[in-house]
Amino acid sequence: MAAAAAEPGKGKRMQPPWTPPEGTKHSRLCLYNSLTRNKEIFQPQNGKKVTWYCCGPTVYDASHMGHARSYISFDILRRILRDYFKFDVFYCMNITDIDDKIIKRARQNYLFEQYRENKITSAQLLEDVKTASELFSVKLNETTDPDKKQMLEKIQNAVKSAFDPLQAAVQAKLPAEEINRCHEIMLEEAKDLLSDWLDTKFGSQVTDNSIFSKLPKYWEGEFHKDMEALNVLPPDVLTRVSEYVPEIVAFVKKIVDNGYGYVSNGSVYFDTMKFDSSEKHSYAKLVPEAVGDQKALQEGEGDLSISADRLSEKHSPNDFALWKSSKPGEPSWDSPWGKGRPGWHIECSAMAGSILGESMDIHGGGFDLRFPHHDNELAQSEAYFENDHWVRYFLHTGHLTIAGCKMSKSLKNFITIKDALKKHTARQLRLAFLMHSWKDTLDYSNNTMESAIQYEKFMNEFFLNVKDILRAPTDVTGQFQKWENQEAELNKNFYDKKAAIHEALCDNIDTRSVLEEMRSLVSQSNSYIAAKKSSRQMPNRLLLENISSYLTQMLKIFGAIESDDVIGFPVGGNSQNINIESTVMPYLQVLSEFREGVRQIAREKKVTEVLQLSDALRDDILPELGVRFEDHEGLPTVVKLVDKDTLLKEREEKKKVIILNIQFF
């Protein structure tokens, strides 16, 4: 009789239930929040949507590297939030086109041009410069800030240097041509001095509003051109103060109605004491220690708004203007309190409130805007909305210094973006910013830029080497190579670096550490390539392609690469409509192989003239076309497309080394 079948599982040891692996904890993005002065976990108010307001420029002069510091840094943060962390970022920025600085500069420019067009005699010019110098000397003597005093002394010395030759030419009755030359130099050097004097005399007579709109319109256009040249993404919404005056008036009216503003002599001021005494509110959340800093407060009010009359209108010296009654020589708009113009701080509150509502996720600006500008923005907005959370995260970019010195447009110590781009590319500037923390001081110097240039060169050489490896002919199955210990180790390093890069980005978007991790990954990859080549083995194509594609993608996320190339920096500039590399490389490969064959025959036949010609092709002719041939003993020639200027510079450096060696021996 057959034995009964055993029941399934009976008599066997029970297997433990399957459990998922523990895995690793994922870091969450933290950002340094100026409101708490700590790194805080970033949590938008509405899912993945991020609302962001950025303080834009006051457009009365050329954009400079201080502007680049903020707008490139915020562009990097914005791209990383959008393209790496996959947030849906809605980015709003303003243009300040009504401001004390703009009004004064517009008046001065207009009056100086009128003065120039009157074609006054040189004798009259000398008299006017003498009179203006007296006023200027008073201003100089009253100045206590050492940097500003030094700047004014430079102007005074330049005027004197131009004054004496013109006076001598007039007294000696030199030919008209020589007098006219000295006259024009005098006008140019004394422009600031004369403009101030003319504004004091005739500024109140400038009444045409178009004079005050022409200047900011021009400089706004130049600002947008500069941002495009720097590859800074345009905002989703751009607001101009001049287009939001009705909204600003309504905003001010509600603050008054809510009991936090008061009317005085046609102006409207914010009552800081009443606001701060409210249980619901607190004044100066960002920099409470700066409350009472009259110098900072007066700078915030503007040069045209700190007269004794203006100051006497306030209940407290800490109060600030929401609406300013317009004096003669200033543009004006209608309001319930009479003809006037917006205060500086109110514009951002009204425009941001109109677009983003009663609370935004991120507000950005330069470090120097924290007090009084951003503290006053917070106060008046929370007074308007009757809340205490108008901004959730305040991000402030660090200062920019020039070779260790303070940079200031008012001190005439600045480098324009256009001038910076004459010396370095937009990518090199961006890499320099990426190599520093966005919230710390950045020193724009030769050393800083040289580090960025060398980093770009280091990465570019790696990309070019990988491209050369990938161009080696193979069939479909040949791209899948057997992995040895070297490949496994490099792949492990690759994933370790990706994890480290993610950690760095989560830690307040630490791009400095990210770039170091990327550099380390490239160094490891270069060592792997060198080891493979030294043993006459082909490096693993797929692994190197994955690494270089990842690095390229990260540089694209940072805005350092604009093209659609899968690997590396674009060849021939970003404006090319065709892919130069894919177009010309087949022809260069044919030329390289032909040259190798000719060189081999020339060596065998000992025809030195042919070898010299092939060297001349490599060293003299191809660099002029942006092509580098690299000869390696026993290996095929490496072909690289490189920026022509870079190759010519390399050629000159090699010549210098050869000359030095000849002189040494």
Cα distance between residue 485 and residue 467, in whole Å: 23
Residue 649 pLDDT > 70: yes
Residues 611 and 519 in one domain: no
Q: How many CB atoms lie within 10 A of CB 633?
A: 4
Q: How confident is the model over 80-107, as pLDDT tens digits?
A: 999 999 999 999 999 999 999 999 999 9
Quick one: pLDDT at residue 240? 98
| Residue 601: Cβ-neighbour burial (10 angstroms; 0-12, 13-18, 19+) | exposed
Question: If pLDDT is split at 50, 70 and 90, which confidence band does 639 have?
Answer: confident
Instruction: Tell me whether residue 156 is in a domain.
Output: yes
CA–CA dist 623, 615 (Å, integer): 12
Q: What is d(CA 586, CA 87) in angstroms, rounded to the nearest whole number?
A: 41
Same domain, 105 and 77: no
pLDDT(664) > 70: no
Residue 132 lies in a domain: yes
Instruction: Kindly state the average pLDDT of the residues 536-544.
Output: 93
Higher pLDDT, 235 or 630: 235
Q: How confident is the model at residue 497 (pLDDT cuts 50, 70, 90)?
A: very high
pLDDT band at 435 (very low <50, low <70, confident <90, very high): very high
Least confident of 44-53, 69-78, 541-550, 597-606: 597-606
- Structural domain of 161: 101-207
Same domain, 584 and 498: no
Q: How many domains does the chain have?
A: 4
Q: Is 217 exposed, middle or buried (0-12, 13-18, 19+ CB in 10 A)?
A: middle
Burial (0-12, 13-18, 19+ Cβ within 10 Å), 205:
exposed
Whether residue 43 is found in the same domain as residue 164: no
Q: Quick one: 397 and 272 in the same domain? A: yes
Contacts of 141 (CB under 8 A, 6+ apart): none
Q: Does a structural domain hold residue 434?
A: no
Say if CB 163 and CB 186 are below 8 A apart.
Answer: yes
Q: How far apart, in whole angstroms, are the C-alpha atoms of residue 312 and residue 269? A: 12
479 DSSP assignment? G
Checking if the pLDDT of 6 tops 60, the result is no
Q: Which of 427, 491, 488 is nearest to 453 (CA)?
A: 427
Task: Decide if pLDDT at 380 tops 90.
Answer: yes
Task: Check whether residue 502 and residue 401 sit in a common domain.
Answer: no
Binning pLDDT at 50, 70 and 90, where does residue 403 land? confident
pLDDT digits (tens, 9 = 90+) for 336-369: 999 999 999 999 999 999 999 999 999 999 999 9
Q: Quick one: pLDDT band at residue 328, thresholds 50, 70, 90? A: very high
Last residue in a domain, options 189, 207, 225: 207
Q: pLDDT higher for 146 or 214?
A: 214
376: CB partners within 8 A, 6+ apart: 270, 300, 320, 345
50 in a structural domain: yes
Low-confidence winner among 55-69, 468-482, 508-522 (lowest mean pLDDT):
468-482
C-alpha closest to that of 122 among 185, 180, 191: 180
User: Number of H helices and number of E strands within the chain?
Assistant: 22, 16
Residues 276 and 367 in one domain: yes
Same-domain pairing of 455 and 545: yes
Integer Cα distance of 121 and 124 in angstroms:
5
Distance CA(3)–CA(24), nearest Å, equals 51
List the CATH number of the domain containing 396. Answer: 3.40.50.620
pLDDT at 62 over 50: yes
Tell me the pairing of strands 38-41 and 30-33.
antiparallel
pLDDT in tens, 301-312: 888 877 656 678
User: Does residue 116 form part of some domain?
Assistant: yes
φ/ψ bin of 357: left (φ > 0), alpha (ψ from -120 to 50), beta (otherwise): left
Q: Are 491 and 470 in contact (CB under 8 A)?
A: no
pLDDT of 261-294, one tens digit each?
999 999 999 999 999 999 999 999 999 999 989 8
Q: Are residues 527 and 615 in the same domain?
A: no
Q: Which pLDDT does position 246 carry in this prediction? A: 97
pLDDT at 576 over 50: no
Least confident of 48-62, 138-152, 369-383: 138-152
Question: Are 74 and 119 contained in the same domain?
Answer: no
Residues 386 and 459 reside in one and the same domain = no
- Determine, yes or no, domain membership for 327: no
Query: Span 319-337, mean pLDDT?
Result: 95
Helix axes of 541-557 and 485-506: crossing angle, nearest 10 degrees = 10
Give 117-137 pLDDT, tens digit per residue: 998 999 999 999 999 999 999
**Can you tell me the mean pLDDT for 630-638?**
82
- Does residue 39 form part of some domain? yes
Residue 388 lies in a domain: yes
Query: Of 80, 591, 159, which Cα lies nearest the Cα of 362?
Result: 80
Instruction: Kindly tell me if the per-residue pLDDT of 161 is higher than 80.
Output: yes
577, pLDDT greater than 60: no
Residue 476 has pLDDT above 90, yes or no: no
DSSP code of 12?
S
Confidence of residue 45 (pLDDT cuts 50, 70, 90): very high
Instruction: Clarify whether residues 83 and 119 are in a common domain.
Output: no
Which residues, 6+ apart, have CB-to-CB distance to 621 below 8 Å? none
Q: Is 42 exposed, middle or buried (0-12, 13-18, 19+ CB in 10 A)?
A: buried
**Beta strands 360-366; 49-54: pairing state:** parallel
Please state the rounded mean pLDDT for residues 41-53.
97
CATH classification at residue 117: 1.20.120
445-449: long-range pairs with CB below 8 Å, 24+: 445/402, 445/403, 445/404, 446/403, 449/423, 449/424
| Per-residue confidence band for 475, with pLDDT thresholds at 50, 70 and 90 | low
